[in-house]
Structure 1
Amino acid sequence: MPAPETQQRLAALRAVIADIERKPALAEARSRVQAQAGGFPVLGPGLVQEIFTDTARDGGAGLGFALGQARTLLTGRRLAILYVQLAEEAQSAGLPYGPGLAWFGLDPARLAIVRAASLGDLLWTAEEAMACRAVAAILVDIKGSPRLLNFTASRRLSLRAAAGGVSLFMLRSGARREASASHLRWRLSPARSGRKPFDARAPGPARWRLRLEKGQLAGGETDWLLEWTKDGFTSFPAGSAGPDRRHAGTALPGAVPAALGDRLPQTA
């Protein structure tokens, strides 16, 4: 094939992919997005979401955001959430903490953990699990930008997710973005935790700063500051820091003993 013709075909292909990337979401996914007045939208099943953090060490924040959404997808029939990661990555990154999941409002017994030997096995596991009617959501932890996860692979996953009614959360890191058929793509970073009652110095509810890089949700918003509560996500204006932690309690007269962590009044 002559070089000029090859270049023309490549340019046309890039234009097609760019057009797909600009679309807010696949048409069949729009009905699964519901608006919440003044808050983060409730996202229904059957979506593929990419969650990018700038560094791998922020992966826990991405996992928390994905679990917060996955929890809402559990039903009487959809009983399980599948978390798939490479075996070699699990040894360095660790596993989700059971008591922490319970505090998060997720029964640890609902989370099934799979350690795959290779990326091919990881993607195969995710695709096959989408056919299981007992699975509500699948979380896959993918480091870097592997060639195996190309547009064709992501398109296949997106079609399987829509057909099976199972949401897929792809946990990624780094600055590189490849063309993909995901419905939504997020850039996420951890934010300073919220206020904890009775102890302003202790870490409070988890918070995330979110930017929607691909797709479009009801209301047209693209940036959020979210906090986790027992009832789900609470949204604050994206440019704010949320409620001021400095006013979490009443100041005590005199020095506060190091052992006094709940800021209760001292007694004689």
Structure 2
Amino acid sequence: MPDVDALPSPTNDVRTHNIALLRATELPIARASAGAQWSPDCELPPSVWELFSSVDHAAGEALALGFAQMRASRDEASKPWLWIQDAQSIRHSGRPFLQGLPAQQRHRFIHVEARHPADALWAMEEGVRCDALSFVIGEIAGDPKVLDFTATRRLVLASERHGVPLYLLRRGGTADLSAARLRWRVGPAPSAPHRWNAVAPGATRIAAELFRGRGLNPDQFVLEHAVGTDEPNATAGHRLTLVSKPRQRPVDPERRQTG
């Protein structure tokens, strides 16, 4: 048998090079590896964002409302907005408390109760098709069969075509195949230190993991909801801020000697 190293190289090197170039430039996985970093200041087009949270806390609702408030502050503030819940979500978390919503959004709040997940999906699709709405928050519990890739694809196409974002809260759901542009895992985080009382809780914080984003790198964040601004000439409003991650800092020379 002839030596393998002595065999002539194949003559289709150009075709092989073209296939490798195609894989490096046209596959979505290759593009996603060189994505950008997400931040609350990113100007992203309206689409469907999926948020997965547990049934034991309200971190998912808080983050969905925080995302929506940021967009509402940039767009027309006079438009109404829609919150849709299926029956199982209402059993777990109850209905939204009107007095707990931001004061400037209470009079524009529209709530829809759907008996079945299919009815909730229909209401969400009709909501994102309505240009008179500012945004839509949808809430579905568990993993209903009607919420498959085709259903999420229909929601994404309708949302991007009409410019109305949908924040789909999956309470106790599984992150199966979906067409949502951004997909988050959301949970509670320790509150910020209180400004005046060391033993009192401060501003609310949420731990959010972006595990899938079209054109964005996966990452983990701690987000804090802030009202107003520290700049004297800026307009006050609701915003999400990133909490700095803890870092290892060198110990001061005096503390090294004493301890």
What are the Cα deviations for residues 135-185 of structure 1, in whole angstroms up to 9, with x where unaligned? 121111111111101111111111001001011111113473210110010
**2:86–2:113 Cα contact (<8 Å) kept:** yes
Q: TM-score, normalised by structure 2?
A: 0.70
SS at match of 1:69: helix
**1:22–1:214 Cα contact (<8 Å) kept:** no
**2:59–2:206 Cα contact (<8 Å) kept:** yes
What are the Cα deviations for residues 173-216 of structure 1, in whole angstroms up to 9, with x where unaligned? 34732101100101111101112332333332211111111115
Give the whole-Å Cα distance in 2 for the aligned partners of 1:175 and 1:21: 25
Give the whole-Å Cα distance in 2 for the aligned partners of 1:202 and 1:168: 35
Q: Does 1:189 align with 2:196?
A: no
Match in the other structure for 2:154: 156
Match in the other structure for 1:56: 55
Question: Cα RMSD between the aligned structures?
Answer: 2.8
Give the whole-Å Cα distance in 2 for the aligned partners of 1:43 and 1:227: 19
Structure 1 letter corresponding to 2:97: Y
TM-fit CA distance, 1:124: 0.5
Structure 2 letter corresponding to 1:79: K
SS at match of 2:83: strand
Match in the other structure for 1:228: 225
Structure 1 letter corresponding to 2:167: F
Unaligned stretches of 5+ in structure 2? 1-26, 228-237, 248-259
Give the whole-Å Cα distance in 2 for the aligned partners of 1:164 and 1:108: 24
Match in the other structure for 1:254: none
What are the Cα deviations for residues 224-268 of structure 1, in whole angstroms up to 9, with x where unaligned? 11111014111123457xxxxxxxxxxxxxxxxxxxxxxxxxxxx
* Bigger Cα displacement from structure 2, 117-126 vs 73-82: 73-82
* Bigger Cα displacement from structure 2, 131-140 vs 168-177: 168-177
**2:88–2:141 Cα contact (<8 Å) kept:** no
**2:212–2:218 Cα contact (<8 Å) kept:** no
Structure 1 letter corresponding to 2:144: P
SS at match of 1:73: helix
Q: TM-score, normalised by structure 1?
A: 0.68
* Number of aligned positions between the proteins: 207
Give the whole-Å Cα distance in 2 for the aligned partners of 1:193 and 1:214: 26
Q: Residues 94, 62 of structure 1: CA spacing in aligned structure 2 closer, same or farther, 3 A cutoff?
A: same
Q: Following superposition of structure 1 onto structure 2, how do residues 51-200 of structure 1 map, counting pairs within 5 Å?
A: 51-53=51-53, 55-58=54-57, 60-74=58-72, 75-76=75-76, 79-102=79-102, 106-174=104-172, 176-200=174-198
Match in the other structure for 1:237: 244
Q: Residues 208, 43 of structure 1: CA spacing in aligned structure 2 closer, same or farther, 3 A cutoff?
A: farther
Give the percent of matched residue pairs that are identical in Structure 1 and Structure 2: 30
* Bigger Cα displacement from structure 2, 131-140 vs 76-85: 76-85
Q: Residues 175, 149 of structure 1: CA spacing in aligned structure 2 closer, same or farther, 3 A cutoff?
A: closer
What are the Cα deviations for residues 83-133 of structure 1, in whole angstroms up to 9, with x where unaligned? 10013532442222333322xx65222221110111111000010111211
**1:51–1:169 Cα contact (<8 Å) kept:** yes
Match in the other structure for 1:245: none
SS at match of 1:85: strand
Q: Does 1:208 align with 2:206?
A: yes
Q: Residues 210, 65 of structure 1: CA spacing in aligned structure 2 closer, same or farther, 3 A cutoff?
A: same
Give the whole-Å Cα distance in 2 for the aligned partners of 1:22 and 1:117: 42
Structure 2 letter corresponding to 1:233: L
**1:195–1:204 Cα contact (<8 Å) kept:** yes
Structure 1 runs, 4 residues or longer, greater than 6 Å off: 19-23
Unaligned stretches of 5+ in structure 1? 1-18, 25-29, 241-268
Give the whole-Å Cα distance in 2 for the aligned partners of 1:158 and 1:117: 23
Q: Residues 238, 175 of structure 1: CA spacing in aligned structure 2 closer, same or farther, 3 A cutoff?
A: farther
Give the whole-Å Cα distance in 2 for the aligned partners of 1:21 and 1:78: 40
SS at match of 1:135: coil
